[in-house]
Amino acid sequence: MLKKWLLRFAFFLHGSARYKEIKQLAKNFLQNSDYEYKKYFDIFMISLIVLSIATLVYEVKNPVPDWVDFFDIYLVTTIFLLEYVARVWVHNDWHKRVIKEFGEAQFLGRRFSLWKPTKEIFKGKLHYLLTPTAIIDLLAILPAYRPLRVLRIFVLFRVFKLLRYTKSINQFLGVLASKKFELYTLLFLLIFITVTAGIAIYVFEQNHNDNIETIFDALYWALITISTVGYGDIAPITPEGRVVSMLIIVSGIAMISFVTSVIVSSFSEKLDELKENRIIEEVNKKEEFMIICGYGQMTRMFLKYYAHEYDKRYIVIENNKERVEEALKEGYRAIHEDASRHDVIKRFNLQYSNVTLLALTGDDIANIYITLNAKSLSRKIRVIARAKTEKIIKKYQLAGADSIVRPSTIADRMLFTAITQPVMYKAIYAILTGKNMALLDEISVDDAPMMIGKKIEELNFRKHKLLCIGLQGAGEEGVFVFNPPSGLHLQEGDILLVMGRKVSIDHFREIYQKESYV
Amino acid sequence: MFNRNALMFGYSKSTRFLAENLHKELGNLLIVVDNDQDYQLAKKAGYYVKLLDITDDEVLEGLEVHEDDYLICVMKDHYLNVFLTLSLHSLFPQSMIIALSDSYHVTQKLKMAGASRIIDLYQVSANRIHNILTKPVATKLIERLFSPEEDFSFKEMVVPPNSPLDGMRVEDFDFSSHGVILVGMIDKRLSNQFIFITSGLENHFDSGDTLVCIGYNKDLEAFEAYMKKGA
């Protein structure tokens, strides 16, 4: 009976759009660093932690009002508790595993067991609860239990909680973790020298020095000396003890140099990676961005003229280190990676953003591979590829490229036009580059709904010093009408193609946008 | 068909399209190459071709170049292309030199060497990509205008004497009834500059003015024939 009820409940959760929505929202806030509002949640949590620590420090010497205590004990702790529970909740999905088990049982004709999926989910959650970050979260909740005053010190665990919300500390720890072997070796050496020196000073000084009575005193002295801190509360008085001191000081300096050089070298090794991660994170937060593969002549030219228009909404991926450095020197946002690799493109926010990929390397085979790689990850990615030869264009189309650009064809046509029709060449060049009086622009009827239902002649393009070149009908199947007849009525989704000075187009747009509010 | 000669310096697979079209349009195209391989390639394609040392000014001077000839520099080696442009500019300063470039820096050098028009392979492609991203409908139209397979294009036409347009005000003439759009013109009386219609043109059409229109080829031809009525 219970099994039936729980199975029904699992199916209910599975079918509930509202439940999915809420869980996804919680996941976005807690786990998805690409979610644009996550930073506000993180800032809120950091503020709570800082307030809590400040209260702890302040109340050491000063009495605090009741409401501060209430805020710290109940409100902050409740929020931490809710966050803790939510993290456990979003860690895995019980209903999905139950439904999967039920499906498999039906398919194989075996008896459905609720225990197996529940156990797996429980194990997964337990595994999460035993992770260091989850333990810190739990310890950060404990100070609320007032009968045990000692638990107040657990407030300090709230400081560790900051690790969750601050990337730089995490990155620092990550860098240290990458040099685990070297640091462990140095730690072992430190322990070895400290213990040896501690024993030596104990043997030489115990009977002569009043400050060294136990082996603990000796070890304390050794550690303080090797770290080059040297409080001076314990000092050797025998010549043998002083020799030990000299040796330990020299080895201490050497150890500090070693540790410093290990940390610095690991940072310089990881610096590029950290910078690249930062660039990817930034671009992933945009609703719309562009991945440019290859930093060759074409990319250089594109960025030279248009980088300012795309601001931070682009990233260049280049597998040649020197070219990446050149791009960075030019002030472009570039990373040293191979765009044909599945895991590289997967790092981008393909699910939530509109991504356009420009395959602009000088190699057709690489461009086709990059196109296929991107399209295999998401059909939503729009791919514009550069083709070197005419023959290869069909292959690009088969690979799924949405637009193909062949530089020599375009240049040849321009050159041909410049020779055969020089006046027209000037006009076309101006139109293509949007210069002077000849910006060719699109005006979406949806942006100015007052245009809907109006006739072309009613818009009076001539008065606005514009030329109406054509009209693209609504939808993907929409037909393009060149020189639309004056009696044609505009419909929702239509796009007008107009030519004129930028100021005329902007003014025209403004008029119909203004009218739409009337 | 127009009545000027063209000399194309350099021949390769990538400039084959250009040579084909110029040959079709002109009939009097001379290709000049500096190596035997390109010479054989051009010869095989049926062009009138000369194998010359293009770094030698005396050899270049020997070419019969008229003032209104087009000199097209499409050498594969951009050092040679810049050098050739400079040589041609010093020898034939009145001729129009059109050069192909493949980088911003080469474009700058070609400009300084005296090229009248420079087509930068990557700049035009960069513009195309930007247009695909920002103005997909406009880009499609431009592609149609450029594609030789399409029945839709730009056309420049000279207003003949006694044409129905002669003496008419620009705003009084209804181009759309002829299925074409007037983009701009060169008013011979005012200047040799091309003026876009969207600049608020208030001129008269006179014979000798050059009009640039877009439309379907058949409409453009019909309009050109209409202009010649009474001429």
Report DSSP state, residue A473: P
Do A192 and A147 fall into the same domain? no
Q: How far is B98 from chain A (nearest CA, A)?
A: 8
Task: List pLDDT tens digits, range B88-118.
Answer: 999 998 888 999 888 888 888 999 999 988 9
A281-332 confidence digits (pLDDT tens): 889 888 889 999 999 988 998 998 888 888 889 999 999 999 999 999 999 9
- Tens digit of each residue's pLDDT (9 = 90 or more) over B119-135: 888 888 888 888 788 77
Kindly list the residues from chain B whose CB atom is less than 8 angstroms away from the CB atom of residue A383: none
Task: List Cβ neighbours of B80 (8 Å cut-off, separation of 6 or more).
Answer: B34, B54, B55
Is A412 touching B (CB cutoff 8 A)? yes
Instruction: Please state whether beta strands B29-33 and A403-405 pair in parallel, antiparallel, or not at all (unpaired).
Output: unpaired
Break chain B into its structural domains and give their ranges.
6-124, 152-228
A22 and A152 both lie in a single domain: yes
Listed as own residue / partner, the contacts of A485-489 with beta carbons closer than 8 Å and 24 or more positions apart are A485/A456, A485/B176, A486/A455, A486/A456, A486/A457, A486/B176, A487/A455, A487/A456, A487/A457, A488/A455, A488/A456, A489/A453, A489/A454, A489/A455
Per-residue confidence (pLDDT) for residue A333, from 0 to 100: 93
The nearest alpha carbon in chain A to B1 belongs to: A420
- CA of B3, closest CA in chain A: separation in Å? 10
Note the pLDDT of residue A475: 65
Position B2 scores a pLDDT of 44
Edge-first strand order for the sheet with A288-293 is A334-336, A314-318, A288-293, A354-359, A382-386, A403-405
What's the pLDDT at B201?
Answer: 67
Does A166 or A360 have the greater pLDDT score?
A: A360
**Structure letter (DSSP) for residue B175:** S
Nearest CA in chain B to A495: B137
pLDDT tops 80 at residue B19: yes
Q: Angle, to 10 degrees, between the axis of helix A239-284 and the axis of helix A167-178?
A: 120
Only one residue has tokens 């902007």, namely A506
Give me the residue label for tokens 């640091």. Answer: A183
Best interface-test mutation with B: which of A424, A479, A495 has the largest number of B CBs within 10 A?
A424
Residue burial A263-299, b: 16+ Cβ < 10 Å; e: rest:
beebbeebeeeeebbebbeebbbbeebbbbbbbbbbb
Chain A to chain B Cβ contacts (< 8 Å) = 187
Specify whether A135 is located in the same domain as A213: no
- Which residues 451-470 of A have a C-beta within 8 angstroms of B? 462, 465-467, 469-470
pLDDT band at A516 (very low <50, low <70, confident <90, very high): very low
Q: Which of residues 9-68 of A touch B (CB under 8 A)?
A: none
- pLDDT band for position B85 (cuts 50, 70, 90): very high
Which of A238, A269, A300 represents a domain boundary (last residue)? A269
A430 contacts on B by Cβ (under 8 Å): 196
Contact A119, A127 (CB under 8 A): no
> For residue B121, which residues of chain A lie inside 8 Å, CB to CB?
297, 407-408, 410-411
Clarify whether residues A231 and A374 are in a common domain. Answer: no
pLDDT of residue A517: 42
Nearest by CB to B129, from A358, A417, A495: name it. A358
Q: Is the Cβ pair A467, B183 closer than 8 Å?
A: yes
One domain for residues A9 and A142: yes
Q: Is residue A148 scored above 60 in pLDDT?
A: no
Count of all residues that appear for chain A in the document? 518
**Could you tell me the sign of the dihedral formed by the alpha carbons of B190, B191, B195, B200, in that order?**
negative
- Residue A112 in any domain: the answer is yes
Report in angstroms the alpha-carbon separations of A201 from A209, A221, A430: 10, 9, 87
Residues A397 and A444 in one domain: no
Q: In chain B, which residues have their Cβ closer than 8 Å to the Cβ of A405?
A: 125, 128-129, 132
Task: List CB contacts (< 8 A) between A469 and chain B.
Answer: 141, 181, 214
φ/ψ of B119, rounded to 5, equals -105, 110
Residues A382 and A509 in one domain: no
| Calpha distance A497→A479 (Å, rounded) | 13
Mean pLDDT of chain B: 84
List of chain B residues whose C-beta atoms are within 8 Å of the C-beta of residue A500: 198
d(CA A29, CA A39): 8
- Give the rounded percent of residues in chain A with a pLDDT score beyond 70: 94
Q: How many angstroms separate the CA of residue B196 from the nearest CA in chain A?
A: 6
490-509 in chain A: CB under 8 A from chain B:
495, 497, 499-501, 504
A412: tokens are 């040849």
Q: What Å distances lie between residue A428 and A281, A375, B143, CA to CA?
A: 40, 34, 11
Mean pLDDT of A220-246: 91
Contact B198 A504 (CB under 8 A): yes
Same domain? For A362 and A291 the reply is: yes
Share of chain B above pLDDT 70, in %: 93
Q: Is there a contact between A504 and A468 (Cβ–Cβ < 8 Å)?
A: no
Q: Which of B188, B206, B136, B146 is nearest to A427 (CA)?
A: B146
Which of B17, B72, B132 has the CB atom closest to A403's CB atom?
Answer: B132
Contact B142, A432 (CB under 8 A): yes
Max Cα distance, chain B (Å): 59
Note whether A301 contacts B14, CB cutoff 8 Å. Answer: no
Q: What is the pLDDT of residues A372-401, one digit of tens each?
A: 999 988 888 999 999 988 788 888 988 899
Task: Label the pairing between strands A403-405 and A382-386.
Answer: parallel
Residue A157: predicted pLDDT: 74
Q: Which domain holds residue A371?
A: 285-405
Residue A335 to chain B, least CA–CA distance (Å): 21
Q: Does the distance separating the beta carbons of B126 and A301 come in below 8 Å? A: yes
State the DSSP H helix or E strand holding residue B117, giving kind and residue range, or none if neither: strand B117-120
- Is A401 inside any structural domain? yes
Chain B CB contacts of A386 below 8 Å: 125
Q: Which residue is listed with tokens 């019980």?
A: A94
pLDDT for position A173: 78
Task: Say if the ipTM goes beyond 0.90.
Answer: no
Beta-carbon count within 10 A of A249 CB: 14
Task: For residue A360, give Cα distances in angstroms to A86, A298, A365, A371, B165.
Answer: 44, 7, 11, 10, 48
Band the pLDDT of A510: cuts 50, 70, 90: confident
Tokens matching residue A285: 């937060």
- Using one digit for the tens of pLDDT, what is the confidence trace for A111-137? 888 888 899 999 999 999 998 888 888
CB-CB: which of A405, A431, A483 is closest to B128? A405
A14 & A161 share domain:
yes
Whose tokens are 């992933």? That residue is: A284
For residue A147, pLDDT over 60 is answered with no
Q: Would A432 be classed as within a structural domain? A: no
Which of B167, B162, B170 lies closest to B211 in space, CA to CA? B170
Q: Judge whether A386 and A407 are in contact, CB under 8 Å.
A: yes
Closest alpha carbon to B182 in A423, A432, A442:
A423
Tell me whether A479 touches chain B (CB under 8 Å). Answer: no
B231 pLDDT tier (thresholds 50, 70, 90):
low
Mean pLDDT of A219-239: 91
Domain assignment present for residue A233? The answer is yes
Tokens of A152: 């107040």
Report the CATH number that the domain containing residue A504 is assigned in CATH.
3.30.70.1450
Contact flag B126-A441 (C-beta cutoff 8 Å): no
Per the structure, the count of domains in chain A is 4
Whether residue A518 is predicted with pLDDT greater than 60 in this model: the reply is no
Which of A300, A418, A486 has the CB atom closest to B119's CB atom? A418
User: Among all residues of chain A, which has the CA nearest to that of B116?
Assistant: A418
DSSP B169: B
Q: For chain A, what is the mean pLDDT?
A: 85
List CB contacts (< 8 A) between B184 and chain A.
427, 437-438
Q: What angle do CA B55, B113, B87 make, to 5 degrees?
A: 25
A124 in contact with B, Cβ within 8 Å: no
- A positions 218-247 inside 8 Å of B (CB): none
Is residue A147 domain-shared with residue A210, that is, in the same domain? no
CA A156/CA A456 separation, integer angstroms: 70
Q: Are A458 and A387 contained in the same domain?
A: no
The tens digit of pLDDT for each residue in A243-282 reads 999 999 999 899 889 888 988 888 888 888 888 888 998 8
Confidence tier at A433 by pLDDT (50, 70, 90): low
Which string of DSSP letters, residue by residue, matches B181-219?
EEEEEE-TTT-SSEEEGGGT---B--TT-EEEEEEEHHH
The mean pLDDT value for B42-57 works out to 89
d(CA A268, CA A45): 31
Query: Residues 358-397, chain A: which have Cβ within 8 Å of B?
Result: 358, 384, 386
The enclosing domain of A350 has a CATH number of 3.40.50.720
The residue among B134 and A438 whose pLDDT is bigger is: B134
Query: Which of A212-221, B19-28, B41-50 has the weakest average pLDDT?
Result: B19-28
Residue A106 domain-assigned?
yes
CA distance B1 to B22: 10
Residues of A in contact with B194 (CB under 8 A): 423, 426-427
Is residue A371 domain-resident? yes
B152-228 is classed CATH 3.30.70.1450: yes
Searching chain A, which residue's CA lies closest to the CA of residue B201? A465
Instruction: Verify that A27 and A142 share a domain, yes or no.
Output: yes
A27 or A74, which is more confident?
Answer: A27
Q: What is the mean pLDDT of residues A402-416?
A: 81
Which pLDDT score is estimated for B51? 92
Report the topology of domain B6-124: Rossmann fold (3.40.50)
Chain B, nearest residue to A505 by Cα: B198
